[in-house]
Structure 1
């Protein structure tokens, strides 16, 4: 059955309706990435799986996902590595090879930068906190209720009954929720968050919430599609001279994740669970 067009953000984050054909092409390439995670994924090979020319595929993929194909592949590799670390007894070197890396050093540094901790620490913390409730983790960390004295940019977070009572909002360096955000806060749904102290740069506002029944283990891999809700802004935030130059507020509407959405690479809520007072990190 033919799906309805989806309203998605483009690389420029202007909202438009993306055709079924383009969504289907991107979905074919994403499935190829995930089903062959240890293989080399050249632009030409991914374009072939999407049935598009390399140039057209790169442009369409970036329009639909707000990510380049190469960054999306790297995010999928990290997602699979997190699953293997959490659910298998394979050593880190074997996992490195299984997800497509030939160098353990490169894999470890990439994982640490994108996920927020080393592979070994991730495995240790997952064994400790995997059964913890995401709602309890967020509740212990927030919400952040004291606004800064001076506000550079404000976010308005909204969602429906599927959302948990709290969300994590961050300003990220790319359209993929990975690496340390320039700013981050726990906020009520529906609620408002204010940020200050941002260095000059361009930021992608992203929000993550979890269903009330979700555990930390549910926040990674395929399970996160059913248990995690995300919100993306219709535009990036640009800070210059200490001030927002294109917009001083952004809306974030939480929704269910889709197969064409980038993986949640940063180890939320695991990082928050380990950071709670008296947590055995």
Structure 2
């Protein structure tokens, strides 16, 4: 039964991907499965944790990010390719979901595209001081030296596209997280050291990253330890880090790097800034 539900959601997602430029409605997607709109909406949300409309918005932003990175098309042209009739509306939505403007994302993602994660992990390892009193330590057993582990925390009960707090760790078999006490939904993205953030989070190459989720509670006192199993992304998983800190990492690393791509004169002065960006 569960496999048939996932297969139905996957068919709808495949249809979304092939028709991003069209004004898709709930009834259009329900006919693909086929189910009633009400049944389809409930099934899709149960399988993916997102409504069809929010998942479609995430797919459109993911495709826009790929086009910004790899093409020379204008923002106006890209907005039309992903289903927006107004470049202004597209820019507002992109900035809200991705966390930066389309033009800034293009600039920053191209700067980072050639830097393997094991290099960034080395920078991060040298820059971030130990978190002495984390409320949570996530154990990610699949992590290897040189990997980057990104952990997104969303307060339990908030919408899937609500604001997310991110923590980033190098060689993240154990990831310390600092946040307010309470229940959270956690999403983990493990990016392999021989890959790049853009290959994993923009191009979504299946072999470049693993994903995992967990429900957890940050205690009022003490520190919780939670294991998270990661696996290759499934067709029904939302785009990796649709709400993620891609550009924040890009900007932080490139600001601290010299022209050669190695830490430059700003490195020492920027250690505190990088630590603040890495542990949100």
TM class by shorter chain equals 0.7 to 0.9
Q: 1:187 to 1:27 in 2, by over 3 A?
A: same
Deviation at 1:159?
3.3
Hey, what does 1:182 align to over in structure 2? 165
Hey, what does 1:37 align to over in structure 2? 20
Hey, what does 1:273 align to over in structure 2? 250
2:35 is the counterpart of 1:60: no
TM-score, length-normalised on structure 1?
0.78
CA RMSD of aligned residues (A): 3.0
- Could you tell me whether the CA contact under 8 Å between 1:163 and 1:209 is conserved in 2? no
TM-score, length-normalised on structure 2?
0.78
2:188 is the counterpart of 1:212: no
**Whole-angstrom distance in 2 between the partners of 1:114 and 1:63:** 22
Deviation at 1:231?
1.6
Q: 1:95 to 1:280 in 2, by over 3 A?
A: farther
Hey, what does 2:271 align to over in structure 1? none
2:131 is the counterpart of 1:147: yes
2:103 is the counterpart of 1:120: yes
SS state of the match for residue 122, structure 2? helix
- Could you tell me whether the CA contact under 8 Å between 1:108 and 1:118 is conserved in 2? yes
Hey, what does 1:48 align to over in structure 2? 31
2:230 is the counterpart of 1:254: yes
2:114 is the counterpart of 1:131: yes
Q: Which consecutive residues of structure 1, in runs of 5 or more, have no partner in the other structure?
A: 1-17
Q: 1:43 to 1:251 in 2, by over 3 A?
A: farther
Deviation at 1:109?
1.4
Deviation at 1:41?
1.9
- When you count helix as a share of all residues, which structure comes out higher? 2
Q: 1:138 to 1:172 in 2, by over 3 A?
A: farther
Hey, what does 2:149 align to over in structure 1? 167
SS state of the match for residue 256, structure 2? coil
1:88-145 CA-to-partner distances (Å, cap 9, x unmatched) read 1110001011101122222111111211211001111122221111232233224856
1:69-91 CA-to-partner distances (Å, cap 9, x unmatched) read 11100000000000111111110
Deviation at 1:201?
7.4
Deviation at 1:57?
1.2
Deviation at 1:184?
2.1
Q: Which consecutive residues of structure 2, in runs of 5 or more, have no partner in the other structure?
A: 260-280
- Could you tell me whether the CA contact under 8 Å between 1:129 and 1:270 is conserved in 2? no
